[in-house]
Amino acid sequence: MSRAPKTKRAPRPSRAQLLKASQIGAQLEALYPETPIPLDHSDHYSLLVAVMLSAQTTDKKVNEVTPALFALADRPELMAQLEAEELLSVIKPLGLAPTKAKNLKRLSEQLVERHGAQVPESFEELEALAGVGHKTASVVMSQGFGHPAFPVDTHIHRLAARWGLSSGKSVEQTERDLKALFPAEQWNKLHLQIIFFGREHCPARSHDPERCPICSWAGSSTEKTRGR
């Protein structure tokens, strides 16, 4: 098993930033002591596929599509035998479905060709698969294999900026900043807690920072004024 790819380290957080992060973490833990994985899956392969399919699509929509998909083929060697057009007919309701269908077939072929039809327990090998970027690999490594990782999706990227935990310039920067603020043993659970909080309390639009349980005290004055 290889470790996460080395990335440029974030500047050392200030004591105030660490205190804010600790308070946010405690509040999220109180709100979401249990963090079930939102994407339905039964093994590493079905998790990998579900996460790959979730790009530009809600988890709910993915969960509506994957039962029929896995009834058709639930193992890499079976999925690899299907044509992309057949896969597309099943996953058509998802965003970017034509590209995902091609990637799903090629990903399954690569797992058979390179890894004995097993999902690799490595960032480098996962990110070398068709349609698998760093965020997808991070989810599989953290939620599938239990290795510390901090997958950053749009919810986490938005909230980290609102709470003043990151500059929000890029998801890569947000990941570095959050890893510097929170201990590694919290990453896997915390990334789900932030996602749950974003969906329930901190949406992208029509958000009232003054009413938000965290933005109301942790958000910057600029964020509160904008109502972002």
Is position 153 annotated as part of the catalytic site?
A: yes
DSSP-based helix, strand, coil % in the chain, nearest 5:
60, 0, 40
In whole angstroms, give the CA distance from residue 177 to residue 11: 8
Supply 104's token pair. Answer: 């799903």
Among 40, 59, 74, 153, the one annotated catalytic: 153
Find how far residue 23's CA is from the centre of its chain: 23
C-alpha distances (whole Å) from 215 to each of 5, 208, 212, 223, 224 are 32, 9, 5, 8, 8
Please say if 169 is a catalytic residue: no
Burial of 40 (0-12, 13-18, 19+ CB in 10 A): middle
Q: Which of 20, 100, 135, 179 is catalytic?
A: 135
What contacts 66, CB < 8 A, 6 or more positions away? 40, 41, 46, 49, 50, 53
Cα distances from 53 to residues 26, 103, 136, in angstroms, run 32, 10, 10
Residue written as token pair 């098993």: 1
What one-letter code names the amino acid at 186?
Q
Active site residues: 135, 153
